[in-house]
Homo-oligomer: A and B are copies of this chain.
Amino acid sequence: MAQTEMPARKRGRPESENADTPGGLSKEELHKLLRQMLLGRRFEEKTAESYAIGKIGGFCHLYIGQEAVTVGAFSCLRPDDYVITAYREHVQALVKGMAPRSVMAELYGRSGGSSKGKGGSMHLYSKEHNFLGGWGIVGGQIPLATGAGWAIKYRGGDQVCLCFMGEAAVNQGAFHESLNMAALWKLPVIYIVENNRFGMGTAWERASSLYDISQKAHAYDMPSLIADGMDVLSMRSTMMEAVDRARTEKMPTLVEARCYRFMGHSMSDPVSGVYRTKEEVEEHKAKDPIRVFIEQLQSAGVLSEEELTAMDKEVHAEVEDAAEFADQSPEPGLDELYTDVYAEENEHGRLFFDNKNRLEQA
Query: What is A's interface to B at a CB cutoff of 8 Å?
Result: 171-177, 180, 183-184, 207-211, 215-216, 218-222
Contacts and interface: CB of A to CB of B under 8 A. Distances in A.
A232 B215 CA distance: 34
Given A171-B176, A171-B177, A210-B221, 20 more contacts: A171-B180, A172-B176, A172-B177, A173-B174, A173-B175, A173-B177, A175-B176, A176-B176, A176-B177, A180-B209, A180-B210, A183-B209, A183-B210, A209-B220, A209-B222, A210-B219, A210-B220, A215-B219, A216-B219, A218-B218
Contacts of A174: 173
A157 B183 CA distance: 41
A173 B174 CA distance: 6
Stoichiometry, copies per complex: 2
A180 B183 CA distance: 21
A171 B209 CA distance: 19
A310 B212 CA distance: 57
Nearest to A182: B209
A173 B172 CA distance: 7
16 contacts: A171-B176, A171-B177, A173-B175, A173-B176, A176-B177, A180-B208, A180-B209, A184-B209, A209-B221, A210-B218, A210-B220, A210-B221, A215-B218, A215-B219, A218-B218, A218-B219
Contacts of A172: 173, 176-177
A245 to B, nearest CB: 15
A176 B216 CA distance: 11
Contacts of A215: 218-219
Q: What 8 A-B pairs have minimum CB-CB distances, sorted nearest first?
A: A173-B173, A176-B176, A183-B209, A219-B219, A184-B209, A210-B221, A216-B219, A209-B220
A182 to B, nearest CB: 8
Contacts of A207: 184
User: Considering residues A172, A180, A218, A220, which has the most beta carbons from chain B within 10 angstroms of its beta carbon?
Assistant: A180
